[in-house]
Amino acid sequence: MPNTTTDAVDTNIKIYDRHQPALTAGFYKVEVDQQFRVDANPQKNYTSSLTFEVAAEQFSISPQLVSSVFPPADSLGDFTTVLPHMTISRSTFPWERRSDKASTDKPWVALLLFSEDELAPKADFKQSPQDFHNSFSLDTMLRSDAYASPVSLVLVGKDLRTNIFPKSEEIAYLAHVRGKIGNEQAVIVANRLPFRNKRNFVHLVSLEESFAGADFVGKPGSGGDYCQFVSLYNWEFFCTDHFIVTPELFPVFKSDKTVYGALESLQNAEYFDAKDFIDAIAAVTGSPVLGEMQKRLLATFEVSHLNQILSHLNRTPNTLRLPQEDDSLNKMGYLRVDYKLKTGELVNGVYRGPLVPFLPDASNGVDQMIAGSPLSSDSWFTIIKDKDDVVDISYAAAWELGRLMALADKKFSAALFLWKRDCYQRYKTNAANTQFPDMPEQVRTWFNNLVLLKNIPFNYLVPTEQYLPFEAIRFFCIDTAWVHCLVDGAFSIARFSKLDANIDHELYAGKHPGVIDVELFQKQNPRADVLTQNPKSGFFLRSRAVSGWPDMVIEGATVNKKANLVKTNLSSNLFFCQFDSLIDTVVMYQRPESIHFGLEEDEDDKLFAMSLTRSPQKVAVVPVNNKIDISTLYNGMQATSVSNFAAGLIQKVEQVKFTVSS
């Protein structure tokens, strides 16, 4: 069973104050005046002008530009020490327009955080770009295509705006650029902490032409007692304590039998208040839970951040099978199914896909495969060793699936048929020394995707949802015989007779009796890079961690040697990861470029940051209506630049390491 450890991750990334574009958005006019002279006497003047536009987003942004947000959209957890932020893939974005006509250093956007009871009744409504542009008298002209979509506006009460809005000099502190060379991203940070036990809303708002020096000159628009702001992007999350009594974490308390017993009785219980959780433990043990034990319980079972979610993943069993331990077929990864033969006879069947609990060998039925390439899937039914009444339909299903997928793609099947016909003709002409034509690119790409199990119906990979519950990780080895049967089924197009089957077998069979040997397949067709990555193991991750941290780093290794990864995002909460070797460890952590801002808490739950020049010295932080005075914090930390300030507030990233064992 896999176990986990948590370690700090090196966050060695570069941080820059800003990445200013050569020109901010707007219309520009270039004029050229050329004068010709002959013997110092002016003859004729030539003038020319050119007007051009530097285009940039103004009233909305494409979701594709948003690399990540934190806290994740629709997430639930304790984020009370985190300053929400978003990363944008184009590093110049915050400086492509101006919030102050006299300055190019200040970003034109800001993140505003609101609690659920702070927004106006019409918190988010639409207005045409033309109406908004006219009511605010923006200097920046509108392109004709900018009128297409309505503008989303957020209404902020004037008093609330005064109390929560960042000051003019703070705007520059709340945006920076970070990442590795060639992969820099812009980061925009809010100046308020989330509200506990409330739904929190975050809006990326436009501040274009809203400042004149230190003064806010944004106009109230038609909102009366409200100020209108363009909301380019928004998301929401719920901030609360969140604890789940997950069995995978019980071993941490194995030395304390009383607490361990209490946890067993509360298995899978969920709590949204720390006091409720501790009181539940105390009610079972019959004594108060205090001091270090209370801290350990809260720290262990809290679920908010990525490393905590990963630590809580269900890992029993660790492979794709049902949890029953008394069923030998289940341990081998088989699912019992009733199967009706073409004769109408009902037999005890078992099925398993290409993703199996262990690396298969001859004992799994491959040794019983027939010699010669088959003409139908019936040839692939096998009897389970030592179980004469159980029929394994796995390889028959794989072969038939490959054939059906090939036939369903008319362009591929036609290209494969024509290429194979050419190969056969050349083989019959000169069997001893045949020079085969190159495999068509379309055919090669299709087979490459097939070997990587792309576009395979999901129920062939995971035959029942019970194999993969939500908030779970399941490891597997890849049955190459199943994959080869899949390839052979697709390759069987144009295999009409026994002669065709014999030619296929003579050309391409070898590793597994009766199925296409893909390595030999490559040798016969040097340009056919089928199975060059040859996945051997991997895992499924089904969790909210996938949707919350889609760019998380995943590293697999065997004997400390890093394995190559092919990662497929099958849905918003499901990763399918394959490696080119048999991995024994997997490490996951948040990508350093997307780590977040945050403060620390002392034993009295008071917030602080650390001074950047005097060590160790805490800088006390006292939020007012959850707003952080960014200027005071910047000066208190003795920051020397925006990037220096950003680096001082970055919270550490922890990795979760899974050790894979049978």
pLDDT of the residue at 237: 94
- Name the pLDDT band for 103 (thresholds 50, 70, 90): confident
- Grouping H, G, I as helix, E, B as strand and the rest as coil, residue 347 is strand
pLDDT at position 454 over 80 = yes
What is the reported pTM? 0.78
Question: What's the mean pLDDT when you consider all of the chain?
Answer: 83
Mention every residue, 6+ apart, whose C-beta is less than 8 A from residue 447. 487, 490, 528, 530
The span from the CA of 422 to the CA of 419, in Å, is 5
How large is the average pLDDT for residues 548-562? 87
Percent of the chain with pLDDT over 90: 38
CB 654 within 8 A of CB 9: yes
Omega before 592 within 30 of 0, i.e. cis: no
pLDDT of the residue at 12: 62
pLDDT of the residue at 174: 94
3 state SS for 490-514: HHCCCCCCHHHHHHHHHHHECCCCC
pLDDT digits 0-9 by tens, 526-544:
444 443 456 789 999 999 9
CA-closest candidate to residue 401, choices 333, 484, 324, 502: 484
pLDDT digits 0-9 by tens, 177-197:
988 777 889 999 999 999 999
- Name the pLDDT band for 4 (thresholds 50, 70, 90): low
The whole-angstrom distance between residue 477's C-alpha and the CA centroid of its chain comes to: 23
The span from the CA of 571 to the CA of 90, in Å, is 25
The span from the CA of 497 to the CA of 492, in Å, is 11
Q: Which residues pair with 229 in a beta bridge?
A: 154
Most trustworthy range by pLDDT among 101-110, 574-583, 653-662 = 574-583
pLDDT of the residue at 10: 47
Q: Looking at this protein, which amino acid is placed at residue 89?
A: S
Q: Token pair of 394, please?
A: 């796995």
CA-closest candidate to residue 77, choices 312, 314, 315, 316: 312
What's the half-sphere exposure (Cβ side, CA atoms, 13 Å) at 264? 9
pLDDT at position 522 over 60 = no
Left (φ > 0), alpha (ψ -120 to 50) or beta: where does 271 sit?
beta
